[in-house]
Structure formats: structure tokens, C-alpha cells
Amino acid sequence: MINRRKFTTLFGTSLITGYLNKCSAKGAPSADNVIASNYNESLVISTWNNQRANAIALKVLNGPVGDKTSTRLLDAVEQGINSVESDPADRSVGLGGWPDRDGHVTLDACIMDDEGSAGSVSFLEGYRHAISIARKVMEETPHVILSGLGAAQFAEYQGFEKEDLLTEDSRKAYVEWLKEGIYQPKINIERHDTIGLLVRDSEGSLAGGCSTSGLAYKMRGRVGDSPIIGAGLYVDNEVGSAVATGLGELVLKQLSSFLVVELMRQGHPPQNACEIAIKRIVEKNDVQDAQVGLIAISKAGETGAYSIHPGFVFALTTDENSSKLEAESYL
């Protein structure tokens, strides 16, 4: 739980953060949760404790003014996420990611810009920077999604380096798992899964992306919410953006990121929108052993974060400060 006094000291009252306002009843969307503000600094928010990725993204976001806005936004998203994809210690993304039950690391990712363009890859093997390949799909093809062998062939054609993503540590963990071979998703596993990252520049332009190796020891061919536009990620530069993490099947069935943005379009602040979207998941599914977390940014720079269970943390970075915060939860 975040102390309100501590948070405003860190970030200042100019940063709009609806999640600080408690729900009037546990699990019920709060009706009064917006702090009026004019926020004109750059902002990066990401799932889990990805402050390093945020710092990289923010540096790019505040790059040369002459750069095209869309290019700068996408570079910020891509380079921030690349840093996580290249970290073998992060077992849920890119190099060293959790394998499926057959021992293969398969990746999903998508990216969206301020102009409504989007690109995605799913069931990708052999290439660590799934977010970069998703961007190439957006920029170099007439399609939105490439999958499996086709995505890998496209990555090779684009000059990406093929490699074995199963590290020694992940291989040992897989061998240990094979002794019983029981598949059971775990809530907040290692306090992270999926890197979802949203950026907003000082003019209010938005972009976002997400990348993941998916559920550990999933069935071969399983694809989660991360590469699906409107499920794992959605950006509408007129309204706001949202990204999801957690059990993708639950997010897919509700198109949670799209729902959050549409609720913001209707006038809900991002915190309230995240709460309503999580409440809908809870009401329609058995969530006892399942976690979903949502983060969002509005066009005006308001932010929101909410989850089913306690333990979902996110990183919030501005020109002045950066911190790991824990979201409010429904349960």
C-alpha cells in the first residue's frame, strides 16, 4: 500500500494518480479519484519493477526535438523493452524466458503508436527482441500480426540474429519441472511476468508495447493476450493507453486493455477504468489462483493501476522521479 504523503513528496501533486484514492468499498470502483492538474512532463509507466527500462525509455522520449514524434515514441518503447528482453535474469521475457512444456521458448509481443498503427508477433522462436520484430511488422508489412514460422522467417529476412533463448538456468529449471510435469500458473510469479510499457511525451502523445515468453510450461502453440491488440495493449492518442499483465486467458476474454481505454473515452479517469475492467474479470471468472494487473495513462497524463490480488507492482518514472509502487487490488 502506498502512503499518500510519501507519494506526493516523490512525484508532486502535479502528477495525476487516481489509484491513490481508496475505493469506497473493497472491490467497488471509486467514484471520486481524480486530482486536477496540468501535467506537461514526459511520463513512462511499466508493469512490475522495470525502472531501468523506464529510464531508458524516458531518455529516448526526451531526445532531439527534431525527431518525428511517432519515431521518438516508438524508439522509447522499443529500447526500454529491449533492455528487459536481453536480461537473462528476467525469466518471463526474451532471453532466458520460461519454455513451454516441450522445452521451447516462444515469444509474443505487440506495439502501437500515436497514429493508431500496430504490429505484433506471436509464437515466435529463436529471436530475443520480439518487440523490435513486432515494430518491423507494423512498419514494413501490410499486416498487423505474424505468427510462428512466418514470424521467424520475417525476422531472419529483416536481419535479426537467431539464437537459442533457453539459458543454462532456464534449462535446469525445465529439467526439474519435467520430474512431475504439473502445469499450474502461479500468482505474481517472481513478482513479474510480461513487460508492458506505456509512454507519454510532454505534448501528450502516447505509445506502448508489451513483450513476454508467456506462461511457464504452457502447451505448445499457446498464445496469450500480449500480442493481441485490444487485449494485452491498446493505445488511442485521443483518449489514453492501457496494458495488461497476468493470466492472458482472462484478459483475452474481456479485451481488458481496449475496455480500459473505452471507459476513459466515456469520461472515467484511468484508475476508475482499471478498477471497472478488473471487476468485470472477477465477476465472470474463477480468479482464486489467477492474477491480472492493469496500468493506464490518459491523454492528460492521469495514471491508473489495479489488480485482482495484492502484489502487483509497477514502475512510474517522470522527468523528476522514479519509483516502484504497489497497485490497489480487488481482493
DSSP state for residue 118 in the 8-state scheme: E
In angstroms, rounded to a whole number, what is the distance separating the alpha carbons of residues 56 and 81?
9
In angstroms, rounded to a whole number, what is the distance separating the alpha carbons of residues 13 and 239?
22
C-alpha cell at 14: 502535479
In angstroms, rounded to a whole number, what is the distance separating the alpha carbons of residues 316 and 113?
20
Count Cα neighbours of 312 within 13 Å in the Cβ-side half-sphere. Answer: 31
Q: Is 87 left (phi over 0), alpha (psi -120 to 50) or beta?
A: beta
Instruction: Answer whether 260's CB lies under 8 Å from 274's CB.
Output: yes
In angstroms, rounded to a whole number, what is the distance separating the alpha carbons of residues 223 and 107?
9
What are the residues whose beta carbons fall under 8 Å from the beta carbon of 297, sequence distance 6 or more?
43, 45, 198, 200, 206, 240, 241, 242, 270, 303
Active site residue 212: no
CA 296 to chain CA mean position, Å: 10
In angstroms, rounded to a whole number, what is the distance separating the alpha carbons of residues 107 and 96?
11
- Rounded to the nearest 5°, which phi and psi values hold at 253? -70, -20
Out of 17, 47, 106, 194, the active site residue is 194
CA 204 to chain CA mean position, Å: 19
Q: Specify the amino acid at residue 20.
A: L
DSSP-derived 3-state class of residue 184: coil
Q: Is 298 left (phi over 0), alpha (psi -120 to 50) or beta?
A: beta
DSSP-derived 3-state class of residue 197: strand
Q: What residues are annotated to the active site? A: 194
